[in-house]
Each structure stands twice: as structure tokens, then as C-alpha cells.
């Protein structure tokens, strides 16, 4: 298994259908909130330490930035390394702040497969794609007004839709476009090898 991602080396294609519970966040969730600086001493290439990124993912997000419509549900309990949530639904400017690559690594370590937001801080977006840590999807609809933490969701990457099975609503997502082959290949280096830009 790649210690820096949540898929095995044998997984040649990203999941086209991503299902799971939503965890809702607000606007301007920054990289220090996603993984605080004091935990950057862990080495994600060491499996035992990679788990710690999952344990402390989102540990500094203020309560006011967490969606609480159906009663507070923690991202995970103190003794868990992996969250019961699979999809983060956020507002604007997700992943702003410092350029630390550890932010998408931490979310992947916690079991997050995709983030859906209105728009990303570009460096977080590129780090997510370049390492193939998770799928960063954009939606022009302000979904945090319509989706609650704990709702059961399905992301269909081929048809560019997000369905909320709890409320029976469906929204259109933006196409991943030119970054899709990079994520599917397993990151920028694997993609470069695949297209002949680097020697295998």
C-alpha cells in the first residue's frame, strides 16, 4: 500500500462511484485546521505514523465551521484513526492557508475519498491531484445549506452528479477535466510515467 494515499498500488483506476456519509464544513477551512502544525513531525511514509495523520485530521476546525443541523457528530472519536465519514462537503476556499502537502494526506488517512466544495485554494487542489490522495470536486451550488453531516451521499464522477439519498436531492458537479487522468493514474509521477514523460 502507498503510505501516502488510501488506495493500493494495484488500484489502477479511481473509483467512479463514491458513496458514504457526509461531513459538512463551512468556508475558509485552512490547512492548519485540517492538520495542525504540531503533527507534521509524523512521517506519512511510515504506516504507523501515517495513521496519526488520520487521527488528528480536522482536529483544529472551530465548532462554528462544522455543520451541526442534525446534532453534533464528531469527525471521529479520540481513539479512532479512521473517520466514519467518506465525503467532505464544504463551502468556499477549502484548503486555504499554507501550502502543506500533509493536508490532503491527513484527510486520506482518515478515510476521506472526496471533497466537494464551491471552490478550492489552488495549492490544496493541486496537492490533492498530484498525490492522488482524494478527489477534489467543485459544485457551484452552496451545498452546505442543503446537506447535513451524516447524510448518505453518492458521487457519480462519470455523470458529474451528487445525490443525497437522505433528502432525495441531486446536484450537478463540475467535470474534473484534465486532472482526471492524473488522479486515475495514481498521481502526477505515475501519470508522467504512463504518458512517457518519465521512464518507468
pLDDT value at residue 73: 65
**pLDDT digit string, tens, across residues 77-134:** 878 899 999 999 999 999 999 888 999 999 999 999 999 999 999 999 999 999 999 9
pTM: 0.89
| Domains of the chain: residue spans and CATH | 17-194 (3.20.19.10)
Lookup: cell for 25: 464544513
**Rounded Cα gap, residues 31 and 100, in angstroms:** 7
Q: Is 37 left (phi over 0), alpha (psi -120 to 50) or beta?
A: alpha
Which residues does residue 145 pair with via DSSP β-bridges, in sequence order?
A: none
DSSP run (H or E) holding 190: helix 188-194
**pLDDT digit string, tens, across residues 23-68:** 999 999 999 999 999 999 999 999 999 999 999 999 999 877 776 5
**Rounded Cα gap, residues 196 and 182, in angstroms:** 13
Amino acid at each position: 500500500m502507498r503510505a501516502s494515499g488510501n488506495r493500493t498500488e494495484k488500484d489502477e483506476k479511481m473509483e467512479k462511484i463514491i458513496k458514504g456519509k457526509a461531513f459538512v464544513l463551512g468556508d475558509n477551512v485552512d490547512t492548519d485546521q485540517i492538520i495542525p502544525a504540531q503533527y507534521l513531525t509524523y512521517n506519512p511514509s511510515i504506516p504507523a505514523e501515517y495513521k496519526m495523520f488520520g487521527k488528528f485530521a480536522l482536529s483544529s476546525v472551530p465548532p462554528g465551521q462544522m455543520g451541526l443541523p442534525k446534532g453534533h457528530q464528531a469527525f471521529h472519536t479520540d481513539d479512532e484513526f479512521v473517520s466514519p465519514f467518506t465525503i467532505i462537503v464544504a463551502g468556499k476556499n477549502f484548503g486555504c492557508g499554507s501550502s502543506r502537502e500533509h493536508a490532503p494526506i491527513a484527510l486520506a488517512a482518515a478515510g476521506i475519498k472526496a471533497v466537494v466544495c464551491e471552490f478550492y485554494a489552488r495549492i490544496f487542489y493541486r496537492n490533492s491531484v498530484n498525490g492522488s490522495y482524494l478527489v477534489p470536486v467543485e459544485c457551484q451550488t452552496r451545498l452546505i445549506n442543503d446537506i447535513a453531516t451524516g447524510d448518505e451521499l453518492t458521487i457519480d464522477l462519470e455523470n458529474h452528479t451528487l445525490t443525497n439519498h437522505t433528502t432525495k436531492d441531486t446536484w450537478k458537479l463540475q467535470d474534473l477535466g484534465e486532472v482526471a487522468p492524473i488522479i486515475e493514474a495514481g498521481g502526477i509521477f505515475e501519470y508522467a510515467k504512463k504518458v512517457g514523460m518519465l521512464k518507468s
